[in-house]
Structure 1
Amino acid sequence: MKIHPSFSIQGRTISFDDLKEVGYSLIKEGEEFEKHIGEFLLDWIDDLPTLSVKTSGSTGAPKTILLKKEQMVNSARATGNYFNLKPGATALLCLPATYIAGKMMLIRAMVLGLNIYLVPPSSYPLEGITDSFDFGAMVPLQVSNSLSKLHQIHKLIIGGAPISNSIREALKGVENSSYETYGMTETITHIAIKPLNDKEVEDATFTVLPNVELTTDDRGCLVINAPEISDETVVTNDVVQMLSKTKFNWLGRLDNVINSGGVKLHPEHIEKVISNYIDTPFFVAGITDNELGQKVVLVVEDAEIKDIQKTIDGISEFKKFEKPKTILIAKEFQRTDSGKIQRSKTLHQILKL
């Protein structure tokens, strides 16, 4: 694979011929996160046309899929064009290189000629960092813990987990350009972008990147046709509202839909309401109910039921059947390696006890 002549790591220009030495050096002498970066660099320059990538396992069992390197390059170029990333622009890698989001930050740097800085993946990625960067990517937890320093990343993409209302509100006061992304491992990260703190955009919707065609199937779920990044049409379980051929609203996961008294409820919508009132980690789910078929339950991590119940009783925005009928407490949520809550595993663990 070709490497842009402007590609550098922390100010040091790296050529294709340098990558093997850099990769081995990181594996041999680097910290744990740097070893994963080194392993990825060696995989990237081998003779194979594909790369093995792990899915996170947030909605099912984690699996390994093969992605074409050529299509990963196409994805990197699409991101570069959308965000106008020029050779020499600085980028921050604060995500693990074991998953697609971290790998793609490295590929963007190599393809677009960025100067990428490596920091350990953590919940506080900007702690102790005084430099500013043109581009970066974070998960919501990192964003929440970095709000006072986010202006150091001029263009920031956020993905990997739902963004709470409190984070959305806080981002409006940040002097940078932050964007919510929609995508998955199978689409080589994002295929759609939503601005989060553009002062001129209210209730912004997702807009697809060029060369991506969207439709919905008979379930109302998104179907993605993007030949430059995937040989096959990607049929998702994401229920969406199509506003045009290029714009859509994400409503929630079909696998999470709760049928309560014949009314279909999206937990993600209910969570959006509750997130205005609760800071502790939580999620909404449906469990079997003799009368309603399913009832809405609120699952909270390590909290007092009395305090949470009082808060829930004070919320007036719930529509019919949306108010949680039961509150369940988990000492600790089941999570993937990348920090996403595993809803079904957590719920099963609680109900089994």
Structure 2
Amino acid sequence: MNTGTTIFDPAAIFLKTGEKTLSYHDLYCHAAGLKLIIADPGSPIGVLTKNKETAILLIASAWLNGLTVVPLSASASVSELEYQVSLSGIQTLICDTGYTDIHEIIDVQIVDINRFVAATSPAKPTTAGDDMLFGIFFTSGTSGKPKAVPLKRRQMISAARSTAINNQLNPGDLWLHCLPLHHIGGVSIILRSLIYGSGVYSLEGFDLACTADLLSSRRDVKAVSLVPTQLSRLIEYPDFKPHDEFRFALIGGGRVPDSLRKKAAGLVPSVFSYGMTETCAQIVATGIDNTAPSGSTGRVLAPNEMIICDERGMQLDHGQTGLICLRGPQVFDGYLDENENTFFPGGWFNTGDYGCTDSMENLFLESRREDRIVTGGENVDPVEVEMALLQLSGVSDAAVIGLADDEWGQLVTAVIVAAPGITYSLNTLRAELKSQLTDYKIPRRLEVIDELPKTALGKVKKRELISRFDRI
């Protein structure tokens, strides 16, 4: 087991796209090229691009050079980018040409991504300390603002180890990549390749027909990462059947309904998982043999540990519902610039998610951060959306809930009280929110009511709203 700095066969495939094949030699030359354009290698480097191939090469090159990388979403609003750049301490932002004038708003050094090219000679991977910071990744927090999660090299290495053991990852395998790169799930695929000498077959996004074709015909593509929505669409695709050497689909990003698991059984070998940015992606998973009980997301991946606690941090017995708490080498150390204590005594990370375990330590997820919405594999914090809604002149009060949906898992739903004389349609609302929110956060359903139900302390009774509008 190496730490992602072993020099693999230069001719082996590192990255494959529909039109291009890049070897490990090509990657090492790009790593040398990255060194030439970074003036301050000691500070975090932001990556902002719509070109996924280039982003993968940038992130991999940053790892090989021992640099700290901050992948940013190309669909984020300017205000979101400004907040994330400031909080993460980015000094250099490598971005597409269309973003180069962003320096007028955000005070950082801008490097046009076209300057990131392969050098004529390959670079040797830097021997970086395991405790060095690899990346800063953003995830929604209960306050409505994204939280910055710093992840160290040792934590990412440990996550790659546990994943490889659970999923039987082999050198030379290609992992189909159709996830966004500003999420830890997308970055993890790259780092597993660097650590095990496997490769990445990248799609710019999730293309159903292309994904089905590759998994059916390309025999060196042995695995794919999907969210439940994507798995659902794949198994419904006409005449789809993966090739005989396809090993598994890793499913994460939301609770998987039993009906979807049953449809996938016998057609798409699937590993169902639970994890988050704070745990370097999956930390609980079923095995490839999928012998876990129905409805379970499997066991915690060794050597990590998991217990169920009450609100005081006291461990509960099997079968009792409580907070899912985790500790181990792939669990983060704490949020960046956050005073919130998210750890119970003993170093147990309180995920804020609720679940229970059986006598065999299988996890059954009951709710995911209680109010948070998981739609199409994307996490949405309702507080952030509510704040955006309340900035609209025609909205006097608002609540955001997730309603069950067969395609999206949960549908982001705005329940609003319109200002006097104002009539809202869903299209109008979505248009007004486009400048404030990333697309997946914008509500796909709208309900207009006269008054929000609230407690005596003024807290919206969201469960009441969910009961009222669910499955209507």
| Deviation per residue, 1:312-344 (Å, 9 max, x gap) | xxxxxxxxxxxxxxxxxx9799998594x67xx
Amino acid corresponding to residue 247 of structure 2 in structure 1 = H
| Deviation per residue, 1:220-271 (Å, 9 max, x gap) | 20110113543464211111112247322111135339xxxxxxxxx99x94
Greater mean deviation of Cα atoms: 105-114 or 191-200: 191-200
Hey, what's the Cα distance between the residues in 2 that align with 1:8 and 1:92? 13
Matched, 1:17 2:64: no
Number of aligned positions between the proteins: 293
Matched, 1:50 2:137: no
**2:175–2:222 contact (8 Å) kept in structure 1:** yes
User: What is the aligned counterpart of 2:234 among 146, 149, 153?
Assistant: 146
Q: Which residue of 1 aligns with 2:351?
A: 236
Amino acid corresponding to residue 131 of structure 1 in structure 2 = R
Shift of 1:144: 2.1
Hey, what's the Cα distance between the residues in 2 that align with 1:280 and 1:72? 29
Matched, 1:8 2:13: yes
**1:56–1:338 contact (8 Å) kept in structure 2:** no
Q: Which residue of 1 aligns with 2:196?
A: 112
Q: Which has the larger radius of gyration?
A: 2
Q: Which residue of 1 aligns with 2:281?
A: 189
Gaps of 5+ in 1: 25-29, 258-266, 288-300, 303-329
Shift of 1:284: 9.3
Shift of 1:42: 2.9
Q: Which residue of 1 aligns with 2:206?
A: 122
Amino acid corresponding to residue 211 of structure 2 in structure 1 = L
Shift of 1:115: 2.5
**1:57–1:63 contact (8 Å) kept in structure 2:** yes
Shift of 1:157: 0.5
Amino acid corresponding to residue 228 of structure 2 in structure 1 = P
Alignment of 1:22-171 (within 5 A): 32-48=51-67, 49-57=132-140, 60-124=144-208, 126=211, 128-129=213-214, 130-132=217-219, 133-147=221-235, 148=237, 149=240, 151-152=242-243, 153-171=246-264
**TM-score, normalisation: structure 2:** 0.52
**1:94–1:119 contact (8 Å) kept in structure 2:** yes
Gaps of 5+ in 2: 36-48, 68-131, 312-321, 334-346, 373-400, 416-424, 452-472
Alignment of 1:239-250 (within 5 A): 239-244=354-359, 246-250=361-365
Q: Which residue of 2 aligns with 1:256?
A: 371
Hey, what's the Cα distance between the residues in 2 that align with 1:221 and 1:200? 21
**TM-score, normalisation: structure 1:** 0.67
**1:19–1:42 contact (8 Å) kept in structure 2:** yes
Structure 1 pair 214/204, CA: closer, same or farther in 2 (3 Å)? Answer: closer
Structure 1 pair 165/106, CA: closer, same or farther in 2 (3 Å)? Answer: same
**2:159–2:280 contact (8 Å) kept in structure 1:** yes
Hey, what's the Cα distance between the residues in 1 that align with 2:300 and 2:408? 32
Amino acid corresponding to residue 36 of structure 1 in structure 2 = A
Amino acid corresponding to residue 241 of structure 1 in structure 2 = C
Hey, what's the Cα distance between the residues in 1 that align with 2:65 and 2:305? 32
SS in 1 for 2:242: helix
| Deviation per residue, 1:153-194 (Å, 9 max, x gap) | 4211111133244422321241x4202110000100011113
